[in-house]
A and B are shown apart, each in its own frame.
Chain A
């Protein structure tokens, strides 16, 4: 692949979920530059590393994904944040989309869907 590896920040409070997601991404040409375990860390890492894409879990301790998303969009309105949701969180996902999330993926993660979402987010970034 000639393009530069897109950088990704993974935000999830469960180490397990991060590992699964990271493996999917790393195997498919993404550069996972950092991981965060709660909303505050996510904001901090985002500011520091300016990743191309951020995957954001919704339910997290300290500061949840929605709040972190709002802050990140405040920092960079073009930030591409993909929400990681579980079944039954439709309302929250809608809320996230309203606040500027560019897409969402649903747990349990299906690699093809994850990659599709990431790919779309990368394209959006390339245009915008």
Chain B
């Protein structure tokens, strides 16, 4: 079925989730190849994707999944350690799946390239499966079913015996299951004496062509049985025939006779009066590549159904059949389907001894069984695609092997139904995959329905957030307009309103939050690939995967982490030999930790590699003219490390020469800043490097300090603020060069004139205008602290951030705005930007030696721990 495009969004969204977990599980499997649960889980996921893809009509995905599944099915049935080669090929297949899914979702159709990718991989997967099967591990011995069937034929009473013939629809799916259902009905209403084909040996082809013929002993009126069998789907005809006295004898007589009877019934199969193999036309077409399809439709190629019974005295029938198929494939055509399949034959060949001559007298049950089985071994049905006539096929067959009987029938294949054509080739309509998917409301009215997840469009969530913001503002308005003595009723109502508003706000926030694991989960695989590429032995430890961050942020984090992890492996972790030399464990360690604190999420990415050599970093920075030699001398260790974030420090071609890392750390930093976060680094030469990110867990609502200045009301994110102090201008203020500073907790803190940056016309010498007692908000930036002088504090409050146009804010000093209940607007300060401007005006060289050399403390309360410390 080709479902309409209304399901596309849903499909792609869900498939992506499945692919992620597949990725995760395959990587898991690699580290524990003996884990049966993982194999089952992978099988299940692939199976699910297959079903979905087949339903929506993406054959390239469905086929590929089918082959991936088969391979894992092998391991499911033969519990053993999963081969490395299998994992390799499955990973390759997974990557191709990603590609195909992406291609379809981008192009809005399944391009032929998808089929090619899929086909290539399918072949590799088949090869792998064959390899595994041939390696002999699959040889679980199946019980001899023929023997069972003969033993079952015990003497039985003659009354109420019938022969029931059941015919099935040609389009029937899983005919043998349908036949089984028929035998179930019979056994519920009587006894099944025997059946052709035998109940344990139903095969789809035979059931379709021959139907099911059962000898039964009815305990219910036979009409009831007939009716019940007719109720089974795909049963088109049921014929009842009373078994004559004479025939009964055949069942009650000795086993030899019964075998003869059996054979005489079976003789029709497969060589007489057969219908073509049950593959319907669509299935045939599905198995062909595009060129073959075309040639089949225009008549260049013909499809034949071949039913073959090899001569009796052949020693290795399986081998003969395999050779036959291979010869066909190599020289004259394409065998698109066979029963038994090549794979099955390979297995059977190994399992079974060469045939004995059967001319010996049949005198025991087991030999009878052998006889039956031997005949089965020489049978094969297949569909051959060939540019040739009926006669060509017969000639080739008789040349290729010794044949007892053969039947060749041409299958007329009409071109595929229009719908498929439309969908495959003419559907050029562009299709975009939304970030999230809308689902139509369930049509059922039942109030009991609980769906575990509802997917919501991110845009809708955004509007909801805005609406909640308005609600908060208006709630505050009401509160303000109530005056000093509201009635108790209004008071309690507004209080309740407040509670509800807060609740809604929290809920909306929580909807936006997703576990950081969404990003973390990609890294086991990523690290696996990178470490192979760089030939380093690395293992990964992740902690705090459940830490939640805003959905918008989580996507951004991925890119940042990839950069950092790649750097860590590329430049941090040493090769195994080097590590051994330094007495380090052979395998390098990458640790990704996340935890949340207040409004922030902290993520540390650390390695136990060689660390960063500050001297080299300094040399590099001087060489790149980022700092002068004099400046370099004055830098503290932290400051030197921070140079790594400087723009232009590293260019790609020299990265590896650098002692640590450097690829685009400036890019990482600006990315982090754009999220309102901060980044810091700690590294010890020879022991490792640790990079810590602090990112606001949401970028919509933050805790902020509101301040009043001459130019207006401002909000400073609380996460930026270290402390607030009141200073005495006369006593506490010091002047170093052009900088005014204060000393706080033995640290030098430069004072920044906010007004100068916020309002163009601020006086240069602002110190003179300050009241004797002034307020200083101490903020942290890049490991240093700075003091912002403010006129007055308004208070601490949760604010809803609204973005403002860049045109109104060309220098980026403002991160956004927030609106209060009374209609006032406050600008949210971008502290980092302001400090940068300040440092431009007061370059480091003006700061005398020793000024910054004191311990500046760190960005964070505690120092960043290094691994193993």
Question: What's the nearest-Cβ distance from chain A to residue B122, in Å?
Answer: 15
Residues of A within 8 A of B419 (CB): none
Residues of B within 8 A of A31 (CB): 444, 446
Question: Are the CB atoms of A16 and B173 closer together than 8 Å?
Answer: no
Question: Are the CB atoms of A94 and B44 closer together than 8 Å?
Answer: no
Residues of A within 8 A of B56 (CB): 16
A34 to B450, CA, bound (A): 8
A20-B55, A93-B177 given as contacts; is B233 within 8 A of A113 (CB)?
yes
Question: Are the CB atoms of B184 and A97 closer together than 8 Å?
Answer: yes
Question: Does A73 count as interface, using CB distance less than 8 angstroms?
Answer: no
Residues of B within 8 A of A34 (CB): 444, 446, 448-450
Interface centre among A26, A48, A113 (most CB of B within 10 A): A113
Residues of A within 8 A of B51 (CB): 14, 17, 86, 107-108
Contact flags A11-32 to B (C-beta < 8 A → 1, else 0)? 0011111011010001000011
Among B1, B15, B173, B449, contact of A111 (Cβ-Cβ < 8 Å): B1
Question: Does A124 count as interface, using CB distance less than 8 angstroms?
Answer: yes
Chain B binding surface SS class: helix
A90-B174, A117-B233, A120-B233 given as contacts; is B443 within 8 A of A17 (CB)?
no
Question: What's the nearest-Cβ distance from chain A to residue B3, in Å?
Answer: 6
Among A33, A35, A93, A110, contact of B174 (Cβ-Cβ < 8 Å): A93
Question: Does B293 count as interface, using CB distance less than 8 angstroms?
Answer: no
Among B3, B11, B43, B442, contact of A22 (Cβ-Cβ < 8 Å): B442
Question: Does B176 count as interface, using CB distance less than 8 angstroms?
Answer: yes
Among B1, B44, B444, B452, contact of A109 (Cβ-Cβ < 8 Å): B1
Residues of B within 8 A of A90 (CB): 174, 176-177
Question: Are the CB atoms of A33 and B448 closer together than 8 Å?
Answer: yes
Question: Does B54 count as interface, using CB distance less than 8 angstroms?
Answer: yes
A13-B48, A17-B51, A32-B443 given as contacts; is B7 within 8 A of A108 (CB)?
no
Q: Which of B201-257 contact A (CB under 8 A)?
A: 231-233
Residues of B within 8 A of A110 (CB): 1
Question: Does B47 count as interface, using CB distance less than 8 angstroms?
Answer: yes
A48 to B10, CA, bound (A): 28
Question: What's the nearest-Cβ distance from chain A to residue B841, in Å?
Answer: 57
Among A14, A108, A113, A117, contact of B48 (Cβ-Cβ < 8 Å): A14
A88 to B15, CA, bound (A): 21
Question: What's the nearest-Cβ distance from chain A to residue B257, in Å?
Answer: 31
Among B10, B18, B44, B451, contact of A60 (Cβ-Cβ < 8 Å): B44
Question: Are the CB atoms of A113 and B173 closer together than 8 Å?
Answer: yes
Residues of A within 8 A of B450 (CB): 34
Question: Are the CB atoms of B180 and A120 closer together than 8 Å?
Answer: no
Question: Does A74 count as interface, using CB distance less than 8 angstroms?
Answer: no
Q: Which of B164-203 contact A (CB under 8 A)?
A: 173-174, 176-177, 180-181, 184
A110 to B47, CA, bound (A): 18
A28 to B347, CA, bound (A): 46
Question: Are the CB atoms of A37 and B452 closer together than 8 Å?
Answer: yes
Among A59, A98, A123, contact of B44 (Cβ-Cβ < 8 Å): A59
Question: Are the CB atoms of B52 and A14 closer together than 8 Å?
Answer: yes
A90 to B204, CA, bound (A): 10
Question: Does A67 count as interface, using CB distance less than 8 angstroms?
Answer: no
A34-B446, A34-B449, A120-B233 given as contacts; is B177 within 8 A of A20 (CB)?
no
Interface centre among B7, B18, B48, B450 (most CB of A within 10 A): B48
A111 to B2, CA, bound (A): 11
Question: Are the CB atoms of A48 and B448 closer together than 8 Å?
Answer: yes
Question: Are the CB atoms of A59 and B442 closer together than 8 Å?
Answer: no
Among B41, B184, B448, contact of A49 (Cβ-Cβ < 8 Å): B448
Question: What's the nearest-Cβ distance from chain A to residue B84, in Å?
Answer: 26
A37-B452, A90-B177 given as contacts; is B231 within 8 A of A120 (CB)?
yes
- In this complex, what residue of A is CB-closest to B11? A16
Question: Does B743 count as interface, using CB distance less than 8 angstroms?
Answer: no
A10 to B14, CA, bound (A): 18
A60 to B11, CA, bound (A): 18
Q: Which of B41-81 contact A (CB under 8 A)?
A: 41, 43-44, 47-48, 50-52, 54-57, 66, 70
Question: Are the CB atoms of B231 and A124 closer together than 8 Å?
Answer: yes
- In this complex, what residue of A is CB-closest to B2? A108
Question: What's the nearest-Cβ distance from chain B to residue A43, in Å?
Answer: 15
Q: Which of B450-495 contact A (CB under 8 A)?
A: 450-453
Question: Does B394 count as interface, using CB distance less than 8 angstroms?
Answer: no
Question: Does A116 count as interface, using CB distance less than 8 angstroms?
Answer: yes
Question: Are the CB atoms of A94 and B54 closer together than 8 Å?
Answer: no
Q: Which of A113-128 contact B (CB under 8 A)?
A: 113, 116-117, 120, 123-124
Residues of A within 8 A of B744 (CB): none
Residues of A within 8 A of B511 (CB): none
Question: Are the CB atoms of A17 and B177 closer together than 8 Å?
Answer: no
Q: Which of A33-52 contact B (CB under 8 A)?
A: 33-35, 37, 48-49
Q: Which of A68-123 contact B (CB under 8 A)?
A: 85-88, 90, 93-94, 97-98, 103-104, 106-111, 113, 116-117, 120, 123
- In this complex, what residue of A is CB-closest to B452? A37
- In this complex, what residue of A is CB-closest to B181? A97
Question: Does B540 count as interface, using CB distance less than 8 angstroms?
Answer: no
Residues of A within 8 A of B43 (CB): 59
Question: What's the nearest-Cβ distance from chain B to residue A97, in Å?
Answer: 6
Question: What's the nearest-Cβ distance from chain A to residue B804, in Å?
Answer: 39
Question: What's the nearest-Cβ distance from chain B to residue A21, in Å?
Answer: 9
- In this complex, what residue of A is CB-closest to B3? A20
- In this complex, what residue of A is CB-closest to B17? A15
A9 to B199, CA, bound (A): 32
Question: Does B667 count as interface, using CB distance less than 8 angstroms?
Answer: no
Among B15, B70, B174, contact of A104 (Cβ-Cβ < 8 Å): B174
Interface centre among B7, B15, B70, B443 (most CB of A within 10 A): B443
- In this complex, what residue of A is CB-closest to B65? A86
Question: Does B439 count as interface, using CB distance less than 8 angstroms?
Answer: yes
A87 to B52, CA, bound (A): 13
- In this complex, what residue of B is CB-closest to A98? B184
Question: Are the CB atoms of A17 and B55 closer together than 8 Å?
Answer: yes
Question: Are the CB atoms of B442 and A32 closer together than 8 Å?
Answer: yes
A113 to B102, CA, bound (A): 31
Q: Which of B145-178 contact A (CB under 8 A)?
A: 173-174, 176-177
A19 to B44, CA, bound (A): 19
- In this complex, what residue of A is CB-closest to B450? A34
Question: Are the CB atoms of A22 and B443 closer together than 8 Å?
Answer: yes
Question: What's the nearest-Cβ distance from chain B to residue A49, in Å?
Answer: 6
Question: What's the nearest-Cβ distance from chain A to residue B447, in Å?
Answer: 10
Question: Are the CB atoms of A97 and B180 closer together than 8 Å?
Answer: yes
A94-B180, A109-B1 given as contacts; is B14 within 8 A of A16 (CB)?
yes
Question: What's the nearest-Cβ distance from chain A to residue B598, in Å?
Answer: 36
A13 to B43, CA, bound (A): 14
Question: What's the nearest-Cβ distance from chain B to residue A29, in Å?
Answer: 12
Among B14, B47, B70, B444, contact of A59 (Cβ-Cβ < 8 Å): B47
A116-B233, A123-B231 given as contacts; is B174 within 8 A of A109 (CB)?
no
Residues of B within 8 A of A108 (CB): 1, 51, 54-55, 57
Question: What's the nearest-Cβ distance from chain A to residue B142, in Å?
Answer: 13
A14-B48, A116-B233 given as contacts; is B7 within 8 A of A94 (CB)?
no
Residues of B within 8 A of A113 (CB): 173, 233
Question: Are the CB atoms of B7 and A20 closer together than 8 Å?
Answer: yes
A34-B449, A109-B55 given as contacts; is B7 within 8 A of A19 (CB)?
yes
Residues of B within 8 A of A116 (CB): 233
Question: Are the CB atoms of B444 and A26 closer together than 8 Å?
Answer: yes
Among A20, A33, A61, A106, contact of B173 (Cβ-Cβ < 8 Å): A106
Kindly list the 5 A-B residue pairs having the minimum CB-CB distance in the complex, ordered from nearest.
A108-B54, A108-B55, A107-B51, A106-B173, A26-B443
Listed A/B pairs (6) with beta-carbon separation below 8 Å = A15-B10, A19-B10, A32-B443, A93-B174, A103-B232, A108-B54
- Listed in ascending order, the chain B residues whose CB lies under 8 Å from chain A are 1, 3, 7, 10-11, 14-15, 18, 41, 43-44, 47-48, 50-52, 54-57, 66, 70, 173-174, 176-177, 180-181, 184, 231-233, 439, 442-444, 446, 448-453
New A-B pairs, 7, CB < 8 Å, besides A48-B448, A49-B448? A14-B14, A15-B14, A20-B55, A59-B43, A86-B47, A87-B173, A108-B54
